Amino acid sequence: METRVITDFDGPLMNVSGRYYHVYQLCLEKNRADQSDIRLLPKSEFWQLKRNRVTEEEIGIISGLGEFEAKSFAKMRKATVHDLCYFEHDEIIPGVFESLERAQNMGLDLALMTMRRRRELEQAFQRYQFERFFREDRCYCLADDFIKTTDVQDKPTLMDRAQRELPPVQSTWMIGDTEADIAAAKKYQVKMIAVLSGIRSRDLLEKYDPDYIVDDLAQAIDLIAEHV
């Protein structure tokens, strides 16, 4: 019987810090009051805040915005960060293709589960030919017109669909980088490997108690290889 690996997209496979930082800079510039001093955070500092789930509003305040401006900054950032034109700032995480090839050669059934909308996923598929690794019937993403609630609520809904539609296997592993992935895995008693290559810090991930925490996809596949 087969082993299935369901992986999240942003975090384990793609590094979105470039896009998030680019949009942060844009929104900060657009929301600064005239003449006011702002403090543009260096990318490493900005990403550290994101990994510790500091809110956008707080990031605005830390960057020198007043309370009113910070609210507008947060709103604009939320509305902008998923604009298709900014996805070009995403980068593939080094070693991902090798890890996916290895998983394929091990005979693992690979599936993708992401909170990206279909058009956002398709753009990355075209750029990196991910269809080599993920068949169409193994890709779970949000419809372009899906009305999002929160990731922690929406991700288990995707997992629910996958569990109903995918052929049964002997064991299933989930790889992801946030509390939403952990919530989805736990709800269906799927073994959960959290990776540190994404948007959450080790301290935060530990609070949600995944089965394992590793650096990246390569280490996650190593771990699965030990169990099959």
Which residues, including other chains, have CB under 8 Å from residue 164's CB and lie 6 or more apart?
Answer: none
Q: What stretches of the chain show up as alpha helix (H) in DSSP?
A: 17-31, 43-51, 56-62, 67-80, 96-105, 118-128, 151-165, 179-187, 202-207, 217-227
Contact letters for Mg ion, residues 122-161 (x by CB under 5 A): ----------------------------------------
> Which residue's CB is nearer to Mg ion, number 32 or number 116?
116
Q: What number of chain residues touch Mg ion (CB under 5 A)?
A: 4
- Is 120 a binder of Mg ion (CB under 5 A)? no
Q: Which of 8, 56, 69, 120 binds Mg ion (CB under 5 A)?
A: 8
Q: Are 58 and 67 in contact (CB under 8 A)?
A: no
Q: Are 209 and 189 in contact (CB under 8 A)?
A: no
Opening angle at CA 118, ends 50 and 164, nearest 5:
95
> Which residue's CB is nearer to Mg ion, number 57 or number 177?
177
Contact letters for Mg ion, residues 158-177 (x by CB under 5 A): -------------------x
How many of the other CB atoms lie within 10 Å of CB of 83?
11
- Is 179 a binder of Mg ion (CB under 5 A)? no
> Which residue's CB is nearer to Mg ion, number 8 or number 179?
8
Helices 17-31/43-51 angle, 10° precision: 100
Q: Which of 3, 5, 10, 50 binds Mg ion (CB under 5 A)?
A: 10
Radius of gyration of the chain measured on its C-alpha atoms: 18
Q: Are 61 and 70 in contact (CB under 8 A)?
A: yes
Which listed range, 2-10, 93-101, 146-154, 165-173, lies at the site for Mg ion (CB under 5 A)?
Answer: 2-10
> Which residue's CB is nearer to Mg ion, number 70 or number 199?
199
> Which residue's CB is nearer to Mg ion, number 11 or number 156?
11
92/72 Cα distance (integer angstroms): 31
Select the residue whose beta carbon is closest to Mg ion and give its number.
11
Q: Which of 4, 5, 11, 15 binds Mg ion (CB under 5 A)?
A: 11
Please report, as ranges, the residues that interact with Mg ion according to CB under 5 A.
8, 10-11, 177
